[in-house]
Amino acid sequence: MIDIKVPCSTNAIAPQKTWNEKWDSVIVVVDSKRVQGRNLVEALPFLARENRELCVAFAQRIDFKAKSGDTFFFDAGPSLRVAVVSLAEGADIFEALSVARDAWDPIFNAKSKATGVDLRGLSGAREVQAFSDAFFSAHLARQFETPKQTSGADSDKRKPTVPAVEFWTHSSELVEFSKVGWSEARAMTEGTNWVRYLSLLPPDTLSPSLYVKKLKKDAAGAGIDFAFFDEKSLAKRKAGAFLAVTRGAEDHGGGIVSLRYRPKGSKSVARKVAFVGKGITFDTGGHNLKTDGHMLGMHMDMAGSAVAAALVFCAKKNQWPFEVEAFLAIAENSIGPKAYRCNEVVKASNGKTIEVIDTDAEGRMVLSDTLVLAAESKPDLIVDFATLTGSCIRAIGKNFSGVYSNLRELHPDLVEAGRRSGERVWPFPLDADYGKCLKSDVADTKQCRVSGGVDHIEAAYFLSQFVPEKIPWVHTDLSAAENDDGLAHVPPKVTGFGVRFAARLMQLVVQRHWHGPDFRLA
């Protein structure tokens, strides 16, 4: 799927009688309710039994009144570091992912070579599956290396040590059950890491033309259908909203990329989902030029397109039982003599005219024509991803992302998918009165307000005008695409948010709305 390799030295989950003597670190996961108020020897008799000479003296000094989320570290002798993680049986996946990241951090920093994750302190199959997902995902996310262009001296520095990891549980039935979650975790985290990688590439490395070229190469390598609507093709489609944004660019190699997966051996597929992504490789703001530090980081305004693309690769790799097609709006928003201007009226490919108010609201412009194209492919569901508004960040911060839908019945599924994935979302309203502010005297609609209002909701309402009412649609405003503290299992700062959420959402949609059997991601 990608040419960035995420190494994985993780072995399958297997029952064992004793700790592997090659392990130099161990993470022990226990149910906080079962150990409440006990000291460590009482809470973890197997720890004391198998490493008594190393652990008991330390353990007896700890009053182990651990609440869910607490982690205790200690050196059980000169060559064994132990982390005891306390998680409640009902801990949600976000908490589990966050705790797993915190547990792995000192182990990686200590350059551990082999780690055992001991799950025997958990009582149920659900916990074994969920927490093995969390610790495996955090292990893979921690391996990610930021793309760098450094001098030869820096480039020759030794790569960080990645500990091999084995998962240990007490029941062969739980072993088989856990392997499913372990495989799913790999697929989702590799996709997340790819989004992080692309988002961090500098704008001269991932210009529109270079981005398209990379996607074409990766699609060919994965056996995914690739199609490209360049500016000439978009002009024939009368995609005036998209082409208004690209007018000021030096690189005119962008356009709309289509990546398509169809289930193997299937001539006719009953269902289809279209993922749409905003792929602005650099956003100056155009004539509404960004000021001060707001220009920094604008090479990451393409994160939504990376999420949409990653989901097609995941579908192909794990043979999702329905068709998946991504439509990626790839362009840059530059300033120049031909750049589009405020008060212009442009016509989108569905015939709707748009009065330009702010050239820095370019994302909704390129997405409008891309949504029209996606709808023409007759999907059963459209889900788009975009780093669209600062307003959404101001509304809910960077720990959640905002979601919006033309089908209110999807709201519970969106929240549940966020809970199951650990990538949390919150639905906002999309009622018609939010669109009153977009009434224009000279066009069918304004692009946005001049100032004020609730731009994250109004932007979603604007986009809804380019999706037929009969097609269920979800808009995802990626307010959590960056987080200075990291998020869940992902270290700071670029989170790759969206892949886990969308994958879990599709499981729910298949089961609850398409009335098909639930499917695994791997």
Catalytic machinery residues: 290, 364
Any residues with CB less than 8 A from the CB of 440 and at least 6 apart, and which?
355, 446
Tokens of 473: 């649609």
Q: Exposure of 78 by Cβ count < 10 A (0-12 exposed, 13-18 middle, 19+ buried)?
A: exposed
Per-residue burial over 421-434, b if 16 or more Cβ lie within 10 Å, else e, is bbbbbbbbebeeeb
Rounded to whole angstroms, the Cα distance separating 194 from 479 reads 19
Residue 453 gets which letter from DSSP? S
Q: How far out from the chain centre does Cα 512 lie?
A: 23
DSSP three-state, residue 113: coil
Q: At what angle do helices 411-421 and 499-512 cross, to 10 degrees?
A: 130
Exposed, middle or buried by CB within 10 Å (0-12, 13-18, 19+), for 10?
buried
* Token pair of 37 as six digits: 């108020």
Taking the C-alpha atoms of residue 299 and residue 282, their distance in angstroms, rounded to an integer, is: 4
Rounded to 10 degrees, the C-alpha dihedral 298/301/307/313 comes to -80
Ramachandran angles phi, psi of 329, nearest 5°:
-90, 100
Whether 514 and 271 have beta carbons less than 8 Å apart is answered as yes
